[in-house]
Structure 1
């Protein structure tokens, strides 16, 4: 083989070997931020809303029935002013509805119903605040209807008005958490025996 041909062959082998090596590895990055402050959320009534027994005759057979809304007091207390948001996790994910409300469980393959949450009358460090929402934790908007879907983070701002909303550092937050259950049409549920509905959600503080 002429010298130039040997050099070309060696160059190809080295290049191929380099490509195989690069494709056989991947980087892993583990990172985070340890915050010096901690925040503790709390719900009145131990976080339980109990509607007791409801007669099927009080529910609509062909339309969704909205049960009376119930309000709990939610507080978040931090050791110092802290940037945080609230994240809702639906523990009944199998029955989550298309509008990203929280689920009330299943009977067979049917959703018993859902419930939506609202955050109203927020007070941050003694002053009225605005409920804002974000899908990604970066861009925020004024949540004018106060509904808190599963997929959105909720935070609070003491800004007098937009257009660029952002969470404010808060040490003591209080807000009404309004729970509004919706029961599916009973004809689709085929209720023959007592049918318990049991929504479960975890509300956590997410540090920003």
Structure 2
């Protein structure tokens, strides 16, 4: 009985010793979330460039057929928080591209497809950024490819992975701005009439996605 009692008392004393230990360590947690500036991107007229009705008789049979340039407004509003951001365009009709249709001064990366009718490619178009401004100050377009170095740009837009931004000084780096206004100029070129199926309506069906991203 004494052995049992002694064992029992030993366990009780050990339990009391553990329960009596003080807590002398605490953890401090600092939390929060940093979010990018809330910027809204919009294009005038819903981003639709409409060439209306084009008579087939107006088209050259053996040469590409450039149409007049049309424009729409570009606006980015980031409230009151200046931030660095850029734009990239992805051609959703790239499979319909007609090589060389834009002529000299353009690369194939700047050639956006106009879709196809009866498996015949309709044509192409170029996109150019113009008259970029922030709070009345002129901005100059710059471009980089796949996170490479920024370079000066003439505003002619090449498809992603090219990304466009703007500078407000001699240094070729993106400017932090709160608002941007500008013009997107589009010039369509229709394929040679001999390469189209003019026994039916041929629809100009260029589609591209314009994506704003923070830098």
The whole-number CA distance in structure 1 between the counterparts of 2:159 and 2:151 is: 16
The whole-number CA distance in structure 2 between the counterparts of 1:185 and 1:105 is: 14
Other-structure match for 1:125: 135
Other-structure match for 2:159: 150
Other-structure match for 1:137: 147
> TM-score scaled by structure 2?
0.75
Greater shift, 112-121 or 96-105, is seen at: 96-105
Does 1:168 pair with 2:168? no
Cα distance change on mapping 1:78 and 1:192 into 2, 3 Å: same
The whole-number CA distance in structure 2 between the counterparts of 1:34 and 1:114 is: 42
- Aligned-pair Cα RMSD in Å: 1.7
Q: Secondary structure at the match of 2:78?
A: strand
Would you say the 8 A contact 2:41–2:212 is kept in 1?
Answer: yes
Bigger Rg, which one: 2
Question: Where do 5+ consecutive residues of structure 2 fail to align?
Answer: 1-32, 100-107
Q: Secondary structure at the match of 1:57?
A: helix
> TM-score scaled by structure 1?
0.77
The whole-number CA distance in structure 1 between the counterparts of 2:127 and 2:85 is: 19
Paired residue total: 172
- CA drift at 1:126: 2.4
The whole-number CA distance in structure 2 between the counterparts of 1:119 and 1:34 is: 31
Q: Where in structure 1 do 4 or more consecutive aligned residues deviate above 4 Å?
A: none
Q: Secondary structure at the match of 2:95?
A: helix
The whole-number CA distance in structure 1 between the counterparts of 2:60 and 2:194 is: 8
Would you say the 8 A contact 2:36–2:214 is kept in 1?
Answer: no
Would you say the 8 A contact 1:95–1:105 is kept in 2?
Answer: yes
Other-structure match for 1:18: none
Does 1:193 pair with 2:200? yes
